[in-house]
Homo-oligomer: A and B are copies of this chain.
Protein backbone atom coordinates (compact mmCIF):
# COMPACT_ATOMS: atom_id res chain seq x y z
CA UNK A 1 0.00 0.00 0.00
CA UNK A 2 1.45 3.34 -0.98
CA UNK A 3 0.82 5.98 1.61
CA UNK A 4 -1.23 9.07 1.01
CA UNK A 5 0.35 10.75 3.99
CA UNK A 6 2.99 13.02 2.48
CA UNK A 7 5.83 14.18 4.72
CA UNK A 8 4.40 12.18 7.59
CA UNK A 9 6.51 9.75 9.59
CA UNK A 10 6.00 6.19 10.72
CA UNK A 11 4.09 5.88 13.94
CA UNK A 12 3.77 2.16 14.67
CA UNK A 13 2.59 2.83 18.21
CA UNK A 14 -0.33 5.05 17.12
CA UNK A 15 -3.31 4.37 19.43
CA UNK A 16 -5.54 2.05 17.50
CA UNK A 17 -8.49 -0.32 17.45
CA UNK A 18 -9.71 -1.97 14.27
CA UNK A 19 -13.15 -1.10 12.99
CA UNK A 20 -15.67 -3.16 14.99
CA UNK A 21 -17.71 -5.78 13.13
CA UNK A 22 -20.91 -3.87 13.79
CA UNK A 23 -19.59 -0.73 12.13
CA UNK A 24 -20.68 -0.12 8.55
CA UNK A 25 -18.11 1.97 6.67
CA UNK A 26 -20.78 3.49 4.52
CA UNK A 27 -22.61 4.65 7.64
CA UNK A 28 -19.61 5.83 9.64
CA UNK A 29 -16.26 6.44 8.04
CA UNK A 30 -14.56 6.74 11.45
CA UNK A 31 -15.32 4.78 14.61
CA UNK A 32 -15.06 5.51 18.33
CA UNK A 33 -12.53 4.07 20.76
CA UNK A 34 -14.32 1.42 22.80
CA UNK A 35 -13.08 2.82 26.12
CA UNK A 36 -14.05 6.44 25.51
CA UNK A 37 -13.71 8.88 27.12
CA UNK A 38 -9.99 8.31 26.88
CA UNK A 39 -9.26 11.19 29.28
CA UNK A 40 -11.68 11.70 32.23
CA UNK A 41 -12.72 15.12 33.51
CA UNK A 42 -10.97 14.86 36.86
CA UNK A 43 -7.52 13.56 35.94
CA UNK A 44 -5.69 16.42 37.63
CA UNK A 45 -6.24 17.67 41.13
CA UNK A 46 -7.96 20.92 40.17
CA UNK A 47 -9.55 19.99 36.87
CA UNK A 48 -13.24 20.48 36.27
CA UNK A 49 -12.88 19.13 32.74
CA UNK A 50 -10.20 18.13 30.19
CA UNK A 51 -11.13 18.45 26.53
CA UNK A 52 -10.34 20.21 23.20
CA UNK A 53 -6.73 19.09 23.49
CA UNK A 54 -3.66 18.71 21.27
CA UNK A 55 -1.60 15.53 21.04
CA UNK A 56 1.58 14.81 19.00
CA UNK A 57 4.19 12.04 18.75
CA UNK A 58 7.15 12.88 20.95
CA UNK A 59 10.35 10.86 21.37
CA UNK A 60 9.26 7.25 21.78
CA UNK A 61 5.81 8.19 23.08
CA UNK A 62 3.48 11.14 22.95
CA UNK A 63 3.19 14.64 24.32
CA UNK A 64 0.35 17.08 24.36
CA UNK A 65 -1.14 20.39 25.41
CA UNK A 66 -4.49 20.06 27.13
CA UNK A 67 -7.33 22.42 27.87
CA UNK A 68 -8.02 21.96 31.58
CA UNK A 69 -10.75 24.15 33.05
CA UNK A 70 -10.32 24.19 36.81
CA UNK A 71 -13.06 24.11 39.42
CA UNK A 72 -13.26 27.90 39.30
CA UNK A 73 -14.12 27.36 35.64
CA UNK A 74 -10.95 29.22 34.65
CA UNK A 75 -9.66 28.17 31.25
CA UNK A 76 -5.98 27.27 30.79
CA UNK A 77 -3.66 24.89 28.95
CA UNK A 78 -1.42 22.25 30.55
CA UNK A 79 1.40 20.06 29.23
CA UNK A 80 1.18 16.27 29.41
CA UNK A 81 3.00 13.13 28.39
CA UNK A 82 2.03 9.55 27.63
CA UNK A 83 3.71 6.30 26.65
CA UNK A 84 0.80 5.03 24.58
CA UNK A 85 -1.45 8.01 23.84
CA UNK A 86 -4.12 6.48 26.08
CA UNK A 87 -2.84 6.83 29.60
CA UNK A 88 -1.83 10.40 30.26
CA UNK A 89 0.09 12.26 32.89
CA UNK A 90 -0.95 15.91 32.85
CA UNK A 91 0.69 18.67 34.88
CA UNK A 92 -1.35 20.08 37.75
CA UNK A 93 -0.22 23.59 36.87
CA UNK A 94 -0.84 25.46 33.62
CA UNK A 95 2.04 26.08 31.23
CA UNK A 96 4.01 29.19 32.18
CA UNK A 97 5.22 30.65 28.92
CA UNK A 98 8.53 32.48 28.73
CA UNK A 99 8.00 35.67 26.76
CA UNK A 100 10.27 36.04 23.75
CA UNK A 101 9.87 39.79 24.12
CA UNK A 102 9.28 41.45 27.52
CA UNK A 103 6.73 43.79 25.94
CA UNK A 104 4.41 40.94 25.03
CA UNK A 105 0.96 41.41 26.55
CA UNK A 106 -0.23 38.96 29.18
CA UNK A 107 -2.92 36.38 28.51
CA UNK A 108 -6.20 36.76 30.37
CA UNK A 109 -7.01 33.10 29.67
CA UNK A 110 -6.03 30.32 27.25
CA UNK A 111 -8.07 27.57 25.61
CA UNK A 112 -8.47 25.17 22.69
CA UNK A 113 -4.79 24.53 21.79
CA UNK A 114 -3.41 22.97 18.61
CA UNK A 115 0.21 21.75 18.30
CA UNK A 116 2.21 21.19 15.13
CA UNK A 117 5.89 20.59 14.26
CA UNK A 118 7.29 23.09 11.75
CA UNK A 119 10.92 23.00 10.67
CA UNK A 120 12.70 22.63 14.02
CA UNK A 121 10.19 22.92 16.84
CA UNK A 122 6.68 22.36 18.07
CA UNK A 123 4.40 25.33 17.70
CA UNK A 124 1.43 25.75 19.99
CA UNK A 125 -1.48 27.90 18.89
CA UNK A 126 -4.48 28.58 21.08
CA UNK A 127 -7.30 30.99 21.85
CA UNK A 128 -5.70 33.70 23.92
CA UNK A 129 -7.56 36.26 26.02
CA UNK A 130 -6.38 39.74 25.05
CA UNK A 131 -9.17 42.31 25.17
CA UNK A 132 -11.38 39.53 23.87
CA UNK A 133 -10.65 36.20 22.23
CA UNK A 134 -7.46 36.41 20.16
CA UNK A 135 -5.00 33.84 18.85
CA UNK A 136 -1.93 32.99 20.91
CA UNK A 137 1.26 31.51 19.47
CA UNK A 138 4.27 29.87 21.11
CA UNK A 139 6.71 27.03 20.72
CA UNK A 140 8.60 24.38 22.61
CA UNK A 141 11.47 22.04 21.88
CA UNK A 142 10.85 19.66 24.75
CA UNK A 143 7.36 20.15 26.22
CA UNK A 144 9.09 21.41 29.34
CA UNK A 145 9.85 24.99 28.43
CA UNK A 146 7.42 26.93 26.31
CA UNK A 147 8.04 30.30 24.65
CA UNK A 148 5.33 32.80 23.80
CA UNK A 149 5.46 34.95 20.64
CA UNK A 150 3.40 37.85 19.31
CA UNK A 151 -0.31 37.22 18.89
CA UNK A 152 -0.50 36.39 15.21
CA UNK A 153 -3.85 38.05 14.42
CA UNK A 154 -6.11 40.87 15.43
CA UNK A 155 -8.80 40.21 17.96
CA UNK A 156 -11.39 38.73 17.64
CA UNK A 157 -10.24 35.37 16.38
CA UNK A 158 -10.40 31.70 17.38
CA UNK A 159 -9.55 28.24 16.10
CA UNK A 160 -6.14 29.00 14.64
CA UNK A 161 -4.36 26.06 12.98
CA UNK A 162 -0.82 26.40 11.64
CA UNK A 163 0.27 24.41 8.60
CA UNK A 164 3.13 21.93 9.20
CA UNK A 165 5.24 23.49 6.45
CA UNK A 166 5.58 26.78 4.62
CA UNK A 167 3.39 27.47 1.63
CA UNK A 168 5.72 29.05 -0.91
CA UNK A 169 8.11 31.00 1.27
CA UNK A 170 5.59 31.88 3.96
CA UNK A 171 4.19 30.31 7.08
CA UNK A 172 0.50 29.68 6.72
CA UNK A 173 -2.44 29.48 9.08
CA UNK A 174 -6.15 28.88 9.11
CA UNK A 175 -8.29 30.84 11.55
CA UNK A 176 -11.81 32.05 12.18
CA UNK A 177 -12.58 35.73 12.72
CA UNK A 178 -15.11 36.00 15.46
CA UNK A 179 -16.73 38.36 17.91
CA UNK A 180 -16.50 38.65 21.66
CA UNK A 181 -19.35 36.35 22.75
CA UNK A 182 -21.01 33.11 21.77
CA UNK A 183 -20.50 34.01 18.12
CA UNK A 184 -23.40 33.28 15.78
CA UNK A 185 -21.33 33.25 12.59
CA UNK A 186 -17.89 32.13 11.44
CA UNK A 187 -15.98 31.41 8.24
CA UNK A 188 -12.53 29.83 7.86
CA UNK A 189 -9.86 32.16 6.46
CA UNK A 190 -6.27 31.52 5.32
CA UNK A 191 -3.37 33.90 6.09
CA UNK A 192 0.36 33.98 5.46
CA UNK A 193 3.39 35.34 7.21
CA UNK A 194 7.06 35.53 6.29
CA UNK A 195 8.16 35.47 9.94
CA UNK A 196 5.25 34.35 12.16
CA UNK A 197 4.99 37.93 13.43
CA UNK A 198 3.49 39.95 10.60
CA UNK A 199 0.50 38.42 8.86
CA UNK A 200 -1.33 39.24 5.65
CA UNK A 201 -2.68 37.97 2.32
CA UNK A 202 -5.85 36.89 4.04
CA UNK A 203 -8.00 34.70 1.83
CA UNK A 204 -11.47 33.37 2.38
CA UNK A 205 -11.56 29.55 2.47
CA UNK A 206 -15.01 28.28 3.46
CA UNK A 207 -18.32 29.66 4.74
CA UNK A 208 -21.05 27.84 6.67
CA UNK A 209 -23.64 26.10 4.54
CA UNK A 210 -27.37 26.17 4.94
CA UNK A 211 -29.95 23.43 4.83
CA UNK A 212 -28.09 21.21 2.35
CA UNK A 213 -25.56 20.52 5.11
CA UNK A 214 -27.17 21.85 8.23
CA UNK A 215 -24.67 20.45 10.75
CA UNK A 216 -22.36 23.24 9.52
CA UNK A 217 -24.95 25.96 9.02
CA UNK A 218 -24.11 28.42 11.83
CA UNK A 219 -20.31 28.53 11.85
CA UNK A 220 -17.28 26.39 11.09
CA UNK A 221 -13.69 26.25 12.32
CA UNK A 222 -10.50 24.33 11.69
CA UNK A 223 -9.86 21.33 13.93
CA UNK A 224 -6.38 19.72 14.03
CA UNK A 225 -3.60 21.35 12.02
CA UNK A 226 -3.95 20.33 8.36
CA UNK A 227 -2.52 16.93 7.34
CA UNK A 228 -0.57 16.80 4.09
CA UNK A 229 -1.69 14.08 1.69
CA UNK A 230 -1.11 13.32 -1.95
CA UNK A 231 -4.67 14.52 -2.57
CA UNK A 232 -4.37 17.86 -0.81
CA UNK A 233 -4.39 19.10 2.77
CA UNK A 234 -6.77 16.97 4.79
CA UNK A 235 -8.64 19.21 7.20
CA UNK A 236 -10.93 18.00 9.96
CA UNK A 237 -13.17 20.91 10.91
CA UNK A 238 -16.07 21.45 13.26
CA UNK A 239 -19.46 22.80 12.23
CA UNK A 240 -22.26 24.19 14.35
CA UNK A 241 -26.02 23.83 13.97
CA UNK A 242 -28.31 26.09 16.03
CA UNK A 243 -31.26 24.13 17.42
CA UNK A 244 -34.00 25.67 19.52
CA UNK A 245 -31.95 24.47 22.50
CA UNK A 246 -28.56 25.87 21.49
CA UNK A 247 -25.49 24.90 19.50
CA UNK A 248 -24.67 21.37 18.28
CA UNK A 249 -21.00 20.79 17.36
CA UNK A 250 -20.23 18.02 14.84
CA UNK A 251 -17.19 17.57 12.64
CA UNK A 252 -16.47 16.71 9.01
CA UNK A 253 -13.53 16.77 6.61
CA UNK A 254 -12.24 18.79 3.67
CA UNK A 255 -9.38 18.71 1.16
CA UNK A 256 -7.54 21.94 0.40
CA UNK A 257 -5.23 22.64 -2.52
CA UNK A 258 -1.62 21.87 -1.59
CA UNK A 259 -0.15 25.12 -2.87
CA UNK A 260 -3.18 27.41 -2.66
CA UNK A 261 -4.84 26.09 0.46
CA UNK A 262 -7.63 28.69 0.29
CA UNK A 263 -8.99 26.69 -2.63
CA UNK A 264 -11.28 23.94 -1.43
CA UNK A 265 -10.99 20.77 -3.51
CA UNK A 266 -13.67 18.84 -1.66
CA UNK A 267 -15.67 19.23 1.52
CA UNK A 268 -17.88 16.65 3.13
CA UNK A 269 -21.59 17.23 3.08
CA UNK A 270 -22.24 14.71 5.90
CA UNK A 271 -20.54 15.02 9.24
CA UNK A 272 -17.99 12.39 10.22
CA UNK A 273 -18.77 12.42 13.94
CA UNK A 274 -21.72 14.01 15.74
CA UNK A 275 -22.78 13.95 19.39
CA UNK A 276 -24.58 10.67 20.08
CA UNK A 277 -22.86 8.92 23.00
CA UNK A 278 -23.91 9.91 26.50
CA UNK A 279 -20.50 11.52 27.26
CA UNK A 280 -21.00 13.69 24.17
CA UNK A 281 -24.66 14.53 24.89
CA UNK A 282 -24.44 15.44 28.59
CA UNK A 283 -21.77 17.51 30.35
CA UNK A 284 -20.81 21.12 30.85
CA UNK A 285 -22.01 21.93 27.32
CA UNK A 286 -24.33 19.26 25.91
CA UNK A 287 -23.97 18.11 22.29
CA UNK A 288 -20.35 18.94 21.50
CA UNK A 289 -17.78 16.90 19.53
CA UNK A 290 -14.80 19.17 18.84
CA UNK A 291 -11.58 17.80 17.25
CA UNK A 292 -8.23 19.43 18.03
CA UNK A 293 -5.54 16.84 17.22
CA UNK A 294 -4.78 14.03 14.81
CA UNK A 295 -2.04 11.40 14.85
CA UNK A 296 -1.07 9.67 11.60
CA UNK A 297 1.02 6.67 10.61
CA UNK A 298 2.27 6.83 7.02
CA UNK A 299 2.90 3.08 6.86
CA UNK A 300 -0.70 2.09 7.51
CA UNK A 301 -2.66 5.24 6.64
CA UNK A 302 -4.04 5.12 10.17
CA UNK A 303 -5.40 8.28 11.71
CA UNK A 304 -6.43 8.81 15.34
CA UNK A 305 -8.35 11.99 16.17
CA UNK A 306 -8.66 13.37 19.70
CA UNK A 307 -11.78 15.44 20.26
CA UNK A 308 -13.51 17.24 23.12
CA UNK A 309 -16.80 15.72 24.29
CA UNK A 310 -19.51 17.96 25.80
CA UNK A 311 -16.76 20.42 26.82
CA UNK A 312 -16.04 17.96 29.63
CA UNK A 313 -13.90 14.96 28.60
CA UNK A 314 -11.69 13.86 25.70
CA UNK A 315 -12.62 11.16 23.19
CA UNK A 316 -10.75 9.30 20.47
CA UNK A 317 -11.89 8.12 17.04
CA UNK A 318 -10.06 6.06 14.44
CA UNK A 319 -10.02 5.93 10.65
CA UNK A 320 -7.91 5.24 7.57
CA UNK A 321 -6.58 8.19 5.54
CA UNK A 322 -7.33 6.55 2.20
CA UNK A 323 -10.89 5.67 3.15
CA UNK A 324 -11.57 9.11 4.63
CA UNK A 325 -10.27 10.91 1.55
CA UNK A 326 -12.30 8.72 -0.77
CA UNK A 327 -15.34 9.31 1.36
CA UNK A 328 -14.91 13.09 1.34
CA UNK A 329 -14.60 13.09 -2.43
CA UNK A 330 -17.62 10.86 -2.83
CA UNK A 331 -19.71 12.86 -0.38
CA UNK A 332 -18.60 16.33 -1.26
CA UNK A 333 -20.85 19.36 -1.25
By a beta-carbon cutoff of 8 Å, the part of chain A in contact with chain B is 24, 26-27, 41-42, 45-46, 48, 70-75, 105, 108-109, 129-132, 134, 150-157, 175, 177, 179-180, 182-183, 185, 187, 189, 191-195, 197-204, 207, 211-215, 217, 241-248, 250, 269-271, 274-276, 278, 281-287, 311-312
Number of copies of chain A assembled together: 6
Q: Is the CB of A150 within 8 A of B201?
A: yes
Q: When chains A and B are docked, how far (Å) is the Cα of A34 from the Cα of B29? A: 32
- From residue A226, how far is it (CB to closest CB) to chain B in Å? 19
**Residue among B24, B212, B274, B284 making CB contact with A248, cutoff 8 Å:** B284
The 7 A-B residue pairs with the shortest CB-CB distance in the complex, in nearest-first order:
A198-B198, A245-B246, A71-B270, A73-B214, A179-B179, A198-B200, A182-B244
- From residue A215, how far is it (CB to closest CB) to chain B in Å? 4
Q: Is the CB of B214 within 8 A of A72?
A: yes
Q: When chains A and B are docked, how far (Å) is the Cα of A278 from the Cα of B282? A: 8
Contacts of A130 in B (CB 8 A): 204
Q: When chains A and B are docked, how far (Å) is the Cα of A281 from the Cα of B312? A: 12
Q: When chains A and B are docked, how far (Å) is the Cα of A64 from the Cα of B132? A: 35
Contacts of A191 in B (CB 8 A): 154
